[in-house]
Amino acid sequence: MTPHPDQAALEGFLRSSLPARETRAVLAHLLRGCKHCQQLMTPLATAMLLPPSKEAPALPPDLDAAYEAAISAAFAAVLGSRPDQPTAEELDGRVRLLLTSPPPDDQ
């Protein structure tokens, strides 16, 4: 293992999907108090371990752009190639509207 586990190993550790040997190595590394790896794990660990809050924390711009691209790609894949299919820009606008709109009133 390199001096720091890579992002995939840290995520695998949190998801309990690593082989036992890798799990022990990551755990040993973290128990030494590695601040670098703790910072890498914080967003995922927070999302996994804390109850959801009313307001989602803002993502850094690069992660926000990657998230938006993934959502747009997912919508495009689900919609297929219909003649009335909206463009990627239209889908992106619709997704942004959904994500920024207030939740409906529970009645």
Q: What is the CA radius of gyration of the chain?
A: 19
Across all residues in the chain, what is the average pLDDT?
79
* Lowest-confidence region among 7-21, 33-47, 93-107: 93-107
Q: How far is CA 54 from CA 51, 102, 107, in A?
A: 10, 11, 18
Distance, in Å, from the CA atom of 63 to the CA atom of 85, rounded to the nearest integer, reads 26
Q: Tens digits of per-residue pLDDT, 16-30?
A: 899 988 998 998 898
Q: Tens digits of per-residue pLDDT, 78-89?
A: 766 555 667 778
Three-state secondary structure call for residue 101: coil
> Is residue 65's pLDDT more than 50?
yes
Amino acid 9: pLDDT: 92
Amino acid 1: pLDDT: 44
